[in-house]
Amino acid sequence: MAGDVAMNFAPPQASAPWAAVKAVLKIPIKQIEQMAALAGIIQLILVDLYVSAIELLARCDTLIESGVVRQTLNSILRPEQVSNLISDLSKKEQILSYEIQSCEALRNEKATKQLDEKLETLLARLDVTSSPLTRIDKEVDKLLENVNNDKLEALMDFISSEQFGKGHATMKDTRIQGTGDWLIDHESFREWQAIASSSTLLCLQGTIGTGKTYLTSRVIDHIKQTLEASPHDEGFAFFYCNRSGPSMQDPLVVLRSFVRQLSYKANNYSYIQNNVIQKCEKAKQEGRSLSYTDCKELILESMNLYSKTTIILDALDESDISYYNLAEIFINMLDKARNPVKIFISSRPDREFLNAFEDRATIMVNSSNQQGDIEKYLDEALYSTRFFRKRRLEIQNMIKETFSTRNGGMFRWVHLQTKSLRKCVSDDAIRIWAKTIPRDLMAAYDRLWEDLTNQHNECDMVLAERAIKWVLCAFRPLNSEALLQAIRFAYEGDCLIQIELQTEQEILSLCQDLLTIDAEKKVWMLPHASVAEYFESRKSKGMGLGECDAFVSKIQLDFLMTPKLELIPNPDDDDRWRPLAAGEYDDLDLFKRYVQNNWFKHVQRYDKWLGSLEGKSHEPALISTLKRFLGSPGESSVYFRRWMNSQEPYMIKPANMAIFIMCQHGFYYTLRDWWEKDKIDQKLALKTCEGSLRRITDSVSYTLELAVEGGCLPMCRYLVSAIGAIGRRQGIYHLAAAGALSNKDILRFLVEEAKVDLNVLVVLPNYALTIVQDAIMHDQTGSTLQYLVDQGWVSANRQGGSLWGNALIAAANGGIPQSIEILLRAGADAKIPAESGIYGSALIAAVASAIPEDIAPYETKIVTLLNSGADINQVPNLGIFGSALEAFIWRIFDHYDTIKNLRSLRYIQTLKLLLKSGADPAMTCNIGQYGSALAAAAFYGMKDMVVMMINVTGKKRAIKCLQQSRYPSEVMFTGEESDSETWKKNVEETATYLIDEVGVDKKTLRSIGMQDIKYKHGSLVVYIQAVERSTSNIETIYDSIRARGRRGSG
């Protein structure tokens, strides 16, 4: 067979998958042919299975860490076809099994037993080799840490406090038995789940009210059951987005929940990934939560760790895409994950972000496939009740006919009409119900609102409207204490007053089917997303989101101006949303805390809504109240200062000027006369503050930077006009542009009208970089950089930067592989040496950033640069490394787990790649601290790598190289203190090898820090006596970087 020939060239690891594939190919065709009834069918299936087996063999590079097999098999099996061969081998095995079972009567018992045994054995062997499960399971165990219950609970809450399981428990408990079974049996769903060896995404689409959330809950239970029976380590995470509050729509909240769930193996919660613990500890030390970048990295690392990962997200259309688009994030993860990933999402159709899924499998929910589930619901909720069974057969049939012909596949409509029907007493009332039943869901809400209006007087309806408005626009779900206090505030003329306190039941009765209380979270919420859509679509009711924000903003501002009001001082950032214990608060404290932390968000959202009205009238009462609270742009009011002082240290300073909050939160249309009547002149526009959330630096911020943060283009335009040319000279516009990378309209304005050059250095207190470099380092998809390139704003080879000498070096060091490809297509030259920075070339920067446990993206960078002409032995003009190979040796030692795993295959793999590409371990250089890569490997005690290098250079040249090398004055450890002792033992072992087998003398060993050396131990630093050591100014930068514990970017 061709495969046997290929095995002679492939490494030993390839034998396992080949054995299983070979078993498929050797199923006796003649034996099958003898079965006349099966010959026409099974032989064709076997041929199809034969082809799939060959495809599996061609793709077995996913099992083997060396790239040799990919090259060998592709050359044999037509590599141009491989990219299109994604046939599902396991599916064809299943088809074969089904056909055999269907013909069971035609086979004798002995033949059946023999063939079944062969098939079971074959399927078992193929299951083992379809993905590197056994090896991955062992790797998973190595990277997990047992955590005690107290630490585990604290760690989980730090990652994500969202109780993702509670919402699912509610859905599961209220879901009728059998609901969603049609989805599990759907062909597209079965295909999505069956293709075990590849990543797939399935989108469940349906209009509002069709029961997508219940269907998603059925999928979650199905996956859970599947995982319980799985012998392998898999990852599983799910989340329900909804409109109960922005926190449940925030993509960052979703991602943090996924990090939490993927930090442990499915069905095993005691062992947590080491890297998750370390990321959390780092975030705690820096006084922050897990960032967007942290979450993306941790989720991708989990996907690359587990043999398979399944992610389920309900109501993707409810997620906020202002800053992060979950659809794009999912696609990016599918493309980057090395192991299979299964993603299931539900969404309403006709959403723009769904374009990202246009080539993915989709299941549409409609009246035809939901009819069975609706019938099950009606059987339990209505047809089995005494109310229905006591009716005459004629009435029963009329009710059934009404529901079967009018529901449109909408569960929510059916639910509302069932409740409406049960209010009927007589048969005549039921006949009228059937004749006047609302045509659709929005009409049903119209009927519901009309009934409430008829049942209650005007004062009660005003109270109901207040409650609904607060729930509709709240930035986090309100519990009963907070909501019941909030709705007490009303206006008597222009005065804010408090009415009597209502009970939960009174408000629930008043707002039936429009508001509810979450049984688990004990917060008020909308019973269904369609309620929000209803009020947004019925503008005449004055309860759209903009009107709601205007209403609650004015109440909050008037409340903050209450005389002698005592605000809650300085809430801890992690403690801001903690429920207050009994006795810890008075009746107003929960409402007070909400107002303190959210009034400006409501005003900002109202301001944006006001800007969208194209000059239509605003709320004059709110505008005057806002001005009274703020004071003036340059001199704030006593109320504003009282609020600012209560928020320290989280708000910007100083508190005596309102201009900073106005800019940071985009108060433009609400305060338009302040902006348009020159109340903000150049002097005020040039004021600076502390405490911005800006990414590029943590120093002071200008008003323009805050306006960019607030996302208000008209405000940015005004400030640029007011600041004038001085903004360009002082770099203010460049700092602003760095914060505008996520806002294309503002960025275009700054580049085209403020004349910002994105390739010019921005000089900061500790370093200097360009906006393009900053964009590359934070672009997780490549879309931002591609946009900048497409606009012609990137000079691909422009030199400059204290860290990265040009854009390509930045991409190689801290960007994604796609960024390198984008820059190369834009004309970047991989051969150009750096003229500034700490990396002498793009290739050195790429190698210096490699993360051993996730080496694939970095190898992609390296190969891309080499294929583009990068010289692997290029001698740099500057930097902290003398060669790419030297940088790699430093990097793997710098990584926290390397010292105990120096023989790991994942390190050896990249070294082989570099050596095969022509890297010279004996090349000496005056740049760097080692003199050569060989000396660096010896100094760090990497015996196996030293042996590999000397096999390339030869002993004589290796000795000469070591004689011309040197060593650093200190070694810093990022892991445990005991690592220093392990390192010294490794050095002794390596020294013994060099003396006994290579012939290196002790004098040479002393010159490279391996013999007769005095060690002085610090905390995690070992200081080494300097002997024959050259120095360089660049080492100051090197030591500074090491001291900061830089890891991800080298």
Q: What is the pLDDT of residues 503-532, one digit of tens each?
A: 999 999 999 899 999 877 788 999 888 898
Please write down the HEC assignment for all residues of 149-194: HHHHHHHHHHHCCCCHHHHHHHHHHHCCCCCCHHHHCCHHHHHHHH
Instruction: Please tell me the predicted confidence (pLDDT) of residue 13.
Output: 46
What's the average model confidence in pLDDT over 832-847? 95
State mean pLDDT over 200-212.
84
Distance CA 185, CA 181 (A): 6
Q: State both tokens at 1038.
A: 């090197």
Q: What is the mean pLDDT of residues 74-100?
A: 51
- 847: pLDDT confidence band, cut at 50, 70 and 90? very high
**What pairs with residue 346 in β-bridges?**
204
The pLDDT score that the predictor gives to residue 332 is 81
Asked if the model's pLDDT at residue 293 lies above 90, the reply is: no
Q: Is the pLDDT of residue 1035 over 60?
A: no
Lowest mean pLDDT among 153-157, 415-419, 753-757, 859-863: 153-157
- Is the pLDDT confidence value at 1025 over 60? no
CA distances from 211 to 109, 183, 441, 516, 530 (A): 48, 12, 13, 18, 11
Instruction: Determine the average pLDDT of the residues in 856-866.
Output: 89
Spell out the alpha helix ranges (H) of 59-102: 68-76, 79-82, 89-102
Of all residues in the chain, the percent with pLDDT exceeding 90 is 43
Share of the chain above pLDDT 70, in %: 73
**For the CA atoms of 661, 667, 668, 672, what is the dihedral angle to 10 degrees?**
-100
| CA gyration radius, the chain | 33
**Residue 17: pLDDT over 70:** no
pLDDT at res. 934: 96
**For residues 292 and 740, is the Cβ–Cβ distance under 8 A?**
no
* Predicted local distance difference test score (pLDDT) of residue 126: 47
For residues 153-164, average pLDDT: 84
pLDDT at 99: 57
| Torsional sign, CA 1022, 1026, 1030, 1035 | positive
Q: Is the pLDDT of residue 136 over 70?
A: no
Farthest CA pair distance, the chain:
109
973 pLDDT more than 80? no
Give the tens place of pLDDT for each residue, 727-749. 888 888 888 888 888 889 999 99
From its phi and psi, is residue 267 left (phi > 0), alpha (psi between -120 and 50) or beta?
Answer: left
Instruction: Band the pLDDT of 31: cuts 50, 70, 90.
Output: very low
C-alpha distance across the termini of the chain, in Å = 47
> Which contiguous run of DSSP H or E holds residue 256?
helix 251-262
In sequence order, the 6+-apart residues with CB closer than 8 A to the CB of 506 are none
Nearest residue to 810 via CA among 771, 764, 845, 859: 845
pLDDT at 782 (0 to 100): 84
Nearest alpha carbon to residue 332 among 777, 828, 817, 846: 817
Provide mean pLDDT across the span 393-412.
88
What are the pLDDT digits (tens) for 306-337? 888 999 999 888 887 766 778 888 888 888 88
- When pLDDT is averaged across residues 205-222 and rounded to a whole number, the result is 88
- pLDDT in the model for residue 116: 55
CA distance 981 to 983: 5
Nearest to 899 by CA among 848, 933, 947, 943: 943
Task: Choose the weakest-confidence range: 150-164, 574-588, 610-624.
Answer: 574-588
Q: Are the CB atoms for 213 and 370 separated by under 8 Å?
A: no
Residue 613 vs residue 48, higher pLDDT: 613
pLDDT at 554 over 70: yes
| Cβ atoms of 946 and 993 closer than 8 Å | yes
Q: Which of 169-183, 219-233, 992-1006, 1033-1047 has the lowest mean pLDDT?
A: 1033-1047
Q: What integer pLDDT is reported at residue 389 of this predicted model?
A: 94
d(CA 46, CA 10): 27
What is the pLDDT averaged over residues 102-123?
52
How far lies 316's CA from each of 255, 326, 441, 1000, in Å? 13, 8, 21, 64
Q: Given this model, what pLDDT does residue 77 score?
A: 43
For 478-507, write each residue's pLDDT tens digit. 999 999 999 999 999 889 999 999 999 999
Read off the pLDDT band of 146 (50, 70, 90): low
Helix and strand element counts for the chain (H, E): 54, 18
Residues 639-687 pLDDT 10s? 999 999 887 656 678 889 999 999 999 999 999 999 987 789 999 999 9
Q: What pLDDT is recorded for position 1013?
A: 63
How far, in Å, CA of 243 to CA of 470, rounded?
Answer: 13
Mean pLDDT, rounded, for 890-918: 74
Q: Is residue 858 within 8 Å of residue 849, measured between CB atoms?
A: yes
pLDDT in tens, 760-778: 988 877 889 999 999 998 8
pLDDT value, residue 1030: 39
Q: What is the pLDDT of residue 173?
A: 85
Q: Is the pLDDT reported for residue 364 higher than 70?
A: no
Residue 409 CB contacts under 8 Å (≥ 6 apart), including other chains: 206, 207, 210, 365, 366, 367, 368, 369, 370, 371, 374
| CA–CA dist 765, 773 (Å, integer) | 17
Phi-psi map region of 697: left, alpha, beta (phi>0 left; psi -120 to 50 alpha): beta
Specify the pLDDT at position 975.
Answer: 53
For residue 192, pLDDT over 50 is answered with yes
Name the burial class of residue 939, with classes exposed (0-12), middle (13-18) and buried (19+) by CB atoms within 10 angstroms of its CB. buried
- How does pLDDT run across 239-288, given as a tens digit for each residue? 988 765 555 678 888 999 999 999 887 666 667 787 788 888 888 877 78
Q: What is the mean pLDDT of the chain?
A: 80
Residue 446: its H or E element = helix 441-455
Give the dihedral sign, CA 924/925/930/933: negative
